Amino acid sequence: MTVLPTLAPRTKLGLEIAAAGVAGGIIGDALLRAVPWGVNVALGTTALIGVGAWLVRRHQVKHGPDAAWLAITALLLGLAFLRRDAATLAAFDAIALIGALALAAASLQGEAISKWYPFDLIRGVVTASAASIFGGFVLLFGDIQWHELPQDDRLRNVRRALLGVTLAVPLLIVFAALFASADPVFNNVLTNLFAFDLDSVVSHTLFIGFWAFLVAGYFRWSFLGMPFFGLTPALKPVQSVVPLATALGMLNALFLLFVVVQLRYFFGGTALVEETSGLTYAEYARRGFFELMTASGLVLPILLGGDALLRGATAPQLRTFRQLAGLLLGLLAVIMVSALQRMRLYVSAFGLSTDRLYATAFMILLLGVFAWFAWTVLRGQRQRFVFGSLMQGLAVLAGLHLLNPDAFIVKTNLHRPAAERPFDAKYALTLGGDAVPALLDAIPQLNPEDRCVVVHGLLARWDKVEVDWRTWNWSRARARSLVRKQADALKASCPNPKEQGNDH
C-alpha cells in the first residue's frame, strides 16, 4: 500500500486558490467580454464573493471585523449594474467595487478598516491592486510546493501519456499530410475537423489568462499574503510648529482675500460682475467652478499631511494647528458655497450635463468630508475619519442611484425656458437608457426639428437591435420595450423620415 504524502495547509489552500483562478478565468471570459456591463458584472461579483466566503469557512480564516459589511458592499455594487444605465455612474460603481474588494482583502488579512488612518487607505488599495496583478506568479512558483503532490501510479501514467502524445504529434502531422495529399476526401475531412479561428482562440486564451491570474492573485493576497506596511512612513513629530503654522497662515490670508472678493461680486450682482470682469454673469460662473472644485480638493491632503506631521506633538502645537486649520476650513466653506452658486448660475444659463451634475455631487461630498474632518481630526479623533469618509462616499453614490442622473438631466433641461437656451436633443440622445422614458414623454412638447432628432435617435438606438443577454440591464430593457411599443407612433410623429434624416 502506497503512503501518500500529506499536503501542507499552505499548499492545499494555494491549490484551491489556483483552481478558483482557473474557474474565474473561464467565467470572466464567458461573461465580461460583452459590453456595456450589466448582469454579467452582477454574476461575476456574486461568484467572486461566494468563492471568498467558501474559502473563509473551509479554512476557518480569522478575518477582521469589517469583512462582512465589505463583502455585502461589494455585492451590492455588483448588483448596481443591473439597474441604472448611465455610463459615468457605472464608472464610479466600478471604482467603488474595486475599492471595496481591496479593503475586503485587507480585512481578510485581519486588519481593522474602521481604525485606519488616511495613508492606510492608500496603502491598502495600492498593495491589493499590485498583488492581484502579480500574485498569481507568486502563488504558482512560491506558495504551492509542487513536490508535496502525490506521486502515485496514476499521475505517473498521466505523465507517460503526455510524453507519448509529444512523441506522436510530429508523426501524426507527417502521415496526415501524406494521406491528405493522396485522398481529396480525407483532406476535406481533416480541413473541417481542424478548422478554427486562430484570432478567436488567441483572444479567448489571453482573456482567460488575464482573469485567471487576476482572480488567483486577489485570493492569494487575501488569504496567503501579509499586510504590507512599507508604504506607511514612520513620521517623526516636527521640532517646531512654526513652519507649518506659517504656511497655513499664508494660505488663510490668500483664502480670506478671495472670500472678500467673492462676497463683493455676489452681493454686487450682475452689473458689478459685467462692469469689473467684462463677462456676463453666466460666463463668470462658468469659468470658475471647476477651478474652485480643484482648489477645494487640494486642501484635504494639505490638512491631512499637516496632521500627520504633528503626531505626538505637544498640546500647544496641536492647538495652534487646529485653530489655523479650522479657520482655513471656515474660509473654504464660503468658497465652496460660492462654487455651488456658480454652478447653479452655470446650469441656469447653459443647462445641465453629466460633467456638471457629477462635479456638483463631488463638491457636496467634499463639504461633508471637510465637516467630518473638523468633527474628528480637529477634535483628536483622527482614527474615525477614514471610515466616516468612506461611508459618506458610499452614501453619495447611493444618492446618485436614487436621483437617476440621466433622467434628471433630461427633465432639468426640458423644464428650462426655451428662450434662454434651446433644448439640446442631440446631447440628450447620448445619455443612457434611463433618459428614454423622459424623452418619450417630452416628444409632444418639442418643436418639429427636435422631435425628429429624438425620434430618429431613439429608433436607431433602441428599436430592432440585437442584445447579448450578458449585457442585460433593467433600464436598457425598459428603454427597448418602450421604444418598440411606440415605434409606429414615433414614426408617424415625424412624417418625412428620409428628408428629416438627411437634414440631421
- In one letter, which amino acid is 504? H
Cell output for 10:
499552505
* Cβ pair 47, 232 in contact under 8 A: no
pLDDT 10s digits, 325-379: 999 999 999 989 888 888 887 888 788 999 999 999 999 999 999 999 999 999 9
Contact 119, 232 (CB under 8 A): yes
Task: Looking at the structure, tell me whether residues 50 and 174 fall in a common domain.
Answer: yes
192 and 77: one domain?
yes
248 and 220 belong to one structural domain: no
Of 203, 233, 263, the last residue of a domain is 233
Domain identity same for 345 and 277: yes
pLDDT of residue 60: 94
pLDDT for residue 325? 96
Tell me the H-state helices in 224-241: none
C-alpha cell at 246: 506659517
Nearest Cα to 218, choosing from 17, 389, 377, 384? Answer: 17
Among all chains, which residue has been given the C-alpha cell 456638471? 356
Cβ(408)–Cβ(357) below 8 Å: yes
Distance CA 214, CA 180 (A): 43
The three-state secondary structure class of 18 is helix
pLDDT for res 36 = 94
Same domain, 326 and 379: yes
Please tell me whether residues 7 and 104 are part of one structural domain: yes
Residues 26 and 157 in one domain: yes
Q: What is the pLDDT of residue 437?
A: 97
Per-residue pLDDT tens listing for the chain (504 residues): 444 457 888 999 999 999 999 999 999 999 999 999 999 999 999 999 999 999 999 999 999 999 999 999 999 999 999 999 999 999 999 999 999 999 999 999 999 999 898 889 999 999 999 999 999 999 989 998 877 777 666 666 766 787 788 888 888 888 888 888 888 888 888 777 777 666 787 788 899 999 999 999 999 999 999 888 765 566 666 678 899 999 999 999 999 999 888 776 665 555 555 555 556 656 666 667 788 888 999 999 999 989 988 887 888 999 999 999 999 999 999 989 888 888 887 888 788 999 999 999 999 999 999 999 999 999 989 889 999 999 999 999 999 999 999 999 999 999 887 666 788 999 999 999 999 999 999 999 899 999 999 999 999 999 988 889 999 999 999 999 999 999 999 999 886 545 444 444
- Complete DSSP assignment for 391-414: HHHHHHHHHHHHH-HHHHHHHHHH
Alpha helices (H) in 278-353, listed in sequence order: 281-309, 315-350
Do 258 and 199 belong together in one domain? no
My answer on whether 147 and 214 are in the same domain is yes
Give me the domain span that covers residue 413.
Answer: 408-503
Does 466 lie in the same domain as 398?
no
Same domain, 399 and 412: no
pLDDT of residue 156: 66
End position of a domain, from candidates 233, 265, 286: 233
> C-alpha grid cell for residue 372?
467630518
For residues 14 and 139, membership in a common domain is answered with yes
**Last residue of a domain, which of 200, 233, 266?**
233
- Per the structure, how many domains does the chain have? 3
